Structures are given as C-alpha cells and as structure tokens.
Amino acid sequence: MKAAGMKWPYPVEWDKTEYIETDVLVLGGGAAGCFAAISAAKKGARVALVEKGAIVASGAAGSGCDHWESATTNPCSRISPEELTETMIRTFSGYTNGISHYIECREGYDRLLDIEAMGAKVRDTDDEFKGADFRDEETKLLFAYDYFNRFTIRVWGSTFKPALARECRRLGIRIFDRVQATGLLTERGEKGTRIAGATGINTRTGKFMVYRAKAVILCTSRPTRLWLFSPDVPGISEFRPFPCSGDGQAMAWRAGVEFAMMEKSVKGEWSGLRSFPPYSTGNNHNTWYACNLVDAEGRALPWVDRDGRILDRFADRFRPAEGQRLYLKGGGEPSFNVYEVQGPDTPPVNDLLRQGFKLPFFADLASLPEMERKIIWGMMVGEEGKTKIPILRAYGEAGFDPEKDLIQSYGDGWKSGSFLPQERQLFGLPGGVVNDWKLMTNVEGLFAAGDTLYASNCFGHAAATGHYAGRHAAAFAARMEAAAVDERQVAEERRRVTAPIAGENGTDWKELNTAITRIMQNYCGAFKSEELLVTGLKMLADLETREAARLSVRNPHELGRAHEVLDILTNAELVMEACRARKASSRELEFTRLDYPEIDPPEWMKLVTVKRGRDGVETDSRSLRYFGDLVENYEKHNPADSERV
C-alpha cells in the first residue's frame, strides 16, 4: 500500500476481525476513560480500554492542564461541595448537570490525591513558590483565582496522563491503543435496547475489532469541527485535540441514546485560521489570570470588581468583592459574567477605548510581582494543555524574556481571535448525553463520563465522573449476564466501516468536513428557524447520499479520519434536530429562533431531550432539576459501605 509516495509502515489487515470479551469496556482513554478503567478494575472487573490515540498522551489533557477546579474538599477550601454545586446551578440558570458537577465537587479532590499517589506532581514540593500569596505553606498546595476561598488548585498537569497510563498498565487493564471505536452493539441490534458491546478499527492495520461487554462506558469527549474546520491547518482547527471530534455522540445517537442541550452553541472562541493558538497571546484570563495589561502607550489598564470599583491593590484581584461570597474564575469569560459570581477583571475593551486607552493592548508580565510572573510564565504557561512546546519552549528559543518583553493581545478577552456570528462551537458547557444518578444513559448498561455528558467540562469533572461511572459499571457487570451480540449488526457495521476502502479518487475527508461546516454556518448559525433547519437537514441528507457515499481512503489512518467526518455529519444532524425541538429562544443556551423570538418563556425553562427512536427522532423534556436533592440522591446511590469517598 502506498500513500503520497510513501510505503504504509504497518501490515494491512482490513480483511481480518478480532473478537474480545470483557466485563467492562471503556471507550476513550482520556482523563475520564483512564479513571473509569482504573476504578472498574479495582472493583474486580475485567476491563478493556479502547483509545484512538495512545493513552499516555491522548485527550484534552494529554499535553497538560494547569488548574484543577472545584476541589472543595481540599483542606484549605472554605466552600462545601453542596454550596459550589448549587452556585453553579444558579449561575447557569439551571442549565447544568447537577449530578455530574456534584460528583466533581464531592469526589474531585480525592481523584487529585489518587493521581498524586500514582506519581504525578500536584504540590510545590520543590518550594519554588515558597512565601507566595497563593501557596498554603503546610500542604504546599498552590491556588488560583480566589485566594481566599481556595477551591481551585494549580497543578503540574503534564505529569497526569503518563501517571494514569502507568496505573492502567499496573492494574492489568487490556489497553487497545490506536483503535477507533465506530459503533455500539445492542441487544438484537435494536435502538435503545441493552448494550452488548462495541466495534472499532485499528487505525494502523485496519483490522476490524468486535468487543463483547456487559457494560460500556462512553468517554470519547464532545463533538467538534461542526461549524469550523481548516483543511490547511487541521491540527489547530479546534481547541480540543483533533481526535476528539465527537465519535461517541454519533455512535450513541445511532444507538438511540437520549441527549440534552445539543441546541446550545456559542460564537467561536478558538479555531483554525481565525485565532492564534490557545494561551499564546497576551491576556489576563484563565491561565493568564491576573496578568497586568498595558495599552499601546504603556498605560496600565485598570482592574475593577463586579460593581465597577477600581482595585488599586494587586491582591484584590484574588479576593471576592465586598459582600460577595465567592467568584468563579476571574475575568470576563462569558459564562461567569453573572453578578453573583463575577470576578475581578479589566473593563470591556470598548469602555477602555472610550476612556482614551489606545490599541493594541499588551500583557506586561515584567511588572508583576515576581511570584505571579513565575507562576504564569513557566508554570501555568507550560503545564496548560498545548503550551509546553509550542509556546513556552518556542517563545523562549525565539528570545522572549518575561522579565523584559511585552506580548500583544488580540481579539477580546482570552480568545485571541474574532469570529463571525455563524462561526460557532460547542464550548464551555455544551450539550451531551443525559445521565441518571449512576451515570447510566437510557440504554441499559451504557454509562458515560467526562466531556461526553451534557453540560460538562474540566479535568476534575472528568476524573471524578470517570471513577464514579467505572465503579457503577463494574457493579452492573457483576450482577448481569452479557447480552447476546447480534451478528447481523456486526456484519452491517463491518460493511459500513469498510465501505470507503473500495472507492478510488472519491471524496476526501477534508472536503467532506468543509462541506458540513458550510451547511452548519448557513442553516444552523446564529439565527435558527424551522425553515432553515429543515433545509439544512435536507442538505446534510444529500451530502450523505452523494459525497459521503463516495468517500475514499488510501490507508487505515485515513479510514479513521473518514469515519470521524461521517460522525461529524451525524452530529450535525443531531444538533439540527435538537434546535428544531426547542421552540423558544434562550439566553443561557445562546439560542435564537427567528420564528420563536420570545426569550426563555417559563414553559420552556426545561431540558429538551432528543433521541433517535425506531421510527425517527423522538423529543421529550425533563425538569431542569430532574436530579432532585443532591445529598439525598448521592447517599442513596452510593451507600456508605460502597467504594465512594
């Protein structure tokens, strides 16, 4: 086999099929998947872990993570898990996952201790930051944002995935690196019936894999590349890593899994040619919080609290305002601009220009107190995902000196780019799979964790929900016989998966991805209506029967890429159907229906759910508070003698 003049370096086996049998099958070996596999294995289950890349460095946190959120049970925290979860629920007007975020707040810090026990670096053990305001001298933990309430911990996240991978190996988990899951197997091959396993392809050899399992945990992250894709620079097309393109959602949609909040999308924040790489430009948010900014004439930009009061003291950037209990992050990240939890920030760019400040603005690391400079440049920029090599090392090699040089700021806030209204992304807390208190979906035996869940985000959330789903899936597998795999479903999936191999000079996966983004921008952009969405769905169906049916690939790697894009096509349909189902506009969901302009009428303050049933798309709804009382339900589903923490 030859591709672009190169001999394919692996044996090609796309005529072969391998069968694997296990108790618990984990799809996706990122933060959630590794923890799910570890906790299921510790419960005594036989575990198989299927990962498209290599678990040692795959997933959003594969290259790092600089802060661990919602660590409310750490010894320095002044906020309880219940208070933080309820605050989050109010902040997002109820549109958040109460179950998964309570698990994050209640168990997340224990997962951080687990990672530390596996050999990752969590504390300032080398005393690099001794005496800093953000350090607790006794525990050597370093905090971010709110130095008073201390529930966000700065961490050396680049050490996390290698530690998790070692632990998976130590526990004897069967790891299938370079296998891309393609489909879920269900009882009798029907939608919505009990889970029986999953299929996949080895993206080096092309071998078809069939996994038979009593329980499956979906940990494949969230959909991307729906509205934005850059064929020229695909690696930086999205904020999340390229392989995290939402295959799990597409598989789940085909299997009849219920979704919520898939109608939510936000104006693009990061992508392809529109923005600079994340964290590479001067700013004062997130990783760069709370860096000094200066204007083109060197004048320092002011900092204000949520009431607009100027903060003269640097230390006040790290404390709640007078009368404020806590703040969530600092700076104007859109989701946290709610008065109750709004943190200190520089005023909006337009206000600053009216006050006479001149563009461009620059981050001024040099004028920061030494410890704050050192923690931003070198620790946060360095440990944060995608920063160690392309930013910290590359800038250093190019001669950048944080003690002297300024770094320019682009776009507004931390985004370093400006997008058109129709250029959208699933970012922040987007939609996903609906879960119960065991993190099981409506498909019996199919669990989900991490960014696959609706309204999910962050490493601590992924770790905590992964561990939780793992132990519940293991308990499920321990009391159930395996459901029979339907061989007709396997054969049909094999036919579907291998179809692009037969074609020659057909559609290229990049062309298909680009075409999908055009349809999404034109028919599911900032403004939606029934007419636009129905037309969009028709365009997607046409694309599927024409160009997608002519996809052709030259090797197993491209076969994987082709299926990613076919799944993106499926996810585009899922998003459009979810948009059709909500017949009202919504502020929190950043959702505008031209034909239903009323914003958040009371009868639509609910989760609208969609799933693909036997006879087509089925829509339903749930109360925003369907998960009930947090403590009561947690206790009920995790009795004190279980492996809970």
The footprint of ligand FAD (CB under 6 A) covers 27-33, 50-53, 58-61, 65-69, 180-181, 219-221, 239-240, 243-244, 247, 278, 384-386, 450-451, 457-460, 462
23/39 Cα distance (integer angstroms): 13
Asked if 248 and 25 count as a contact pair (C-beta separation under 8 A), the reply is: no
Supply φ then ψ for residue 630, to 5 degrees: -65, -55
Closer residue to ligand FAD in complex, CB, 53/332: 53
Asked if 120 and 156 count as a contact pair (C-beta separation under 8 A), the reply is: yes
Closer residue to ligand FAD in complex, CB, 66/588: 66
Closest approach of ligand FAD to the CB of residue 165, in Å? 11
Closer residue to ligand FAD in complex, CB, 27/440: 27
Closest approach of ligand FAD to the CB of residue 592, in Å? 27
520/568 Cα distance (integer angstroms): 11
Eight-state DSSP code of residue 453: B
Name beta bridge partners: 289.
none
Closer residue to ligand FAD in complex, CB, 29/417: 29
185/198 Cα distance (integer angstroms): 5
Q: Hey, what are 49's tokens?
A: 């872990």
Supply φ then ψ for residue 239, to 5 degrees: -70, -45
Residue 479 burial (CB < 10 Å; 0-12/13-18/19+)?
exposed
Helix, strand, or coil (residue 621)? strand
Closer residue to ligand FAD in complex, CB, 199/585: 199
Closest approach of ligand FAD to the CB of residue 368, in Å? 20
Closest approach of ligand FAD to the CB of residue 129, in Å? 17
Closest approach of ligand FAD to the CB of residue 300, in Å? 27
Closer residue to ligand FAD in complex, CB, 218/539: 218
- When CB distances to ligand FAD are compared, the closest residue is 30
264/83 Cα distance (integer angstroms): 26
Closer residue to ligand FAD in complex, CB, 387/586: 387
Closer residue to ligand FAD in complex, CB, 243/332: 243
Closer residue to ligand FAD in complex, CB, 217/485: 217
Closest approach of ligand FAD to the CB of residue 17, in Å? 17
Torsion of CA 568, 570, 573, 578, to 10 degrees: -90
What one-character-per-residue DSSP string does 93-153 give? TT-S-HHHHHHHHHHHHHHHHHHHHTT---S-TT-TTTT-TTB-TTT--EE-S-TTT---E
Closest approach of ligand FAD to the CB of residue 596, in Å? 32
Helix, strand, or coil (residue 609)? strand
Per DSSP, helices labelled H in 226-362 are: 247-254, 349-354
Closest approach of ligand FAD to the CB of residue 630, in Å? 21
Closest approach of ligand FAD to the CB of residue 450, in Å? 2
Helix, strand, or coil (residue 291)? coil
163/478 Cα distance (integer angstroms): 28
Closer residue to ligand FAD in complex, CB, 234/302: 234
Closest approach of ligand FAD to the CB of residue 199, in Å? 10
Closer residue to ligand FAD in complex, CB, 51/588: 51
122/205 Cα distance (integer angstroms): 38
Q: Is the peptide bond before 290 cis (omega within 30 degrees of 0)?
A: yes
3-class SS letters over 15-49: CCEEEEEEEEEEECCCHHHHHHHHHHHHCCCCEEE
Closest approach of ligand FAD to the CB of residue 66, in Å? 4
Closer residue to ligand FAD in complex, CB, 443/581: 443
Cα separations (Å) of 306 from 84, 319, 330, 361, 376? 19, 11, 10, 22, 23
31/51 Cα distance (integer angstroms): 12
Closest approach of ligand FAD to the CB of residue 425, in Å? 12
